[in-house]
Amino acid sequence: MAIAGRLLSADHHAEMEQRTYLLLLTNVFLIAMDNDIQNRLAQLGLQLPAPINPLGSYRTTVTLGDQLFVSSLGPFKDGKPVVGIVGDDFSIADAQEAAQRTMLLILACVEEACGLENVERCARLTVYVRAESGFTAHPKVADGASDLLLALFGPDRLPARSAIGVFTLPMGIPVEIDSVFQLKR
């Protein structure tokens, strides 16, 4: 298969087919689900972790008008930070899982701050990816967070997003996500 004048490998083609299948499956869930984010998470087989307390001199969330700002967060598993470098210690799929885990933690903090039922949409994501120097698939890693938002809020309420490669992140985490949510009026 050729895209923009370059030949795609069989692995890349299979990866694209799997992603297309997941997005189609997501749309089926959107049709079948009600508007309750918690119910959607349960139908996806996911649950929110406990929200995290600040690890320094800052607040995890701040509300200004109809916007909720969430401090940059990273992935935790069993109460400990997930650590590693994408492209060395983590495959793209592992990094996407770390991004999804981070998005679930962000949503837990949003739930604690104002209740997910009061969220209109995620308006902005900045996804920082700690990767080896030759890694270039940062947007694919960020899809781990964005695809969860797609499943929960639908395609018309996806956020604007940046995916940025970095040399280091706090505690050695592979992904850190900064987010802004729009609240219902």
Spatial neighbors of 137 by CB under 8 A, at least 6 apart, are 92
Q: Report the predicted TM-score, pTM, of the whole model to 2 decimal places.
A: 0.82
Domains of the chain: 33-183 (3.30.1330.40)
* Region class of 107: left (phi > 0), else alpha (psi between -120 and 50), else beta: alpha
Using CA atoms, how far apart are residues 2 and 112, in angstroms rounded to an integer? 46
| 8 A C-beta contact, residue 124 and residue 161 | yes
Flag the least confident range among 19-33, 74-88, 143-157, 159-173: 19-33
Using CA atoms, how far apart are residues 19 and 54, in angstroms rounded to an integer? 34
Flag the least confident range among 21-25, 67-71, 127-131: 21-25
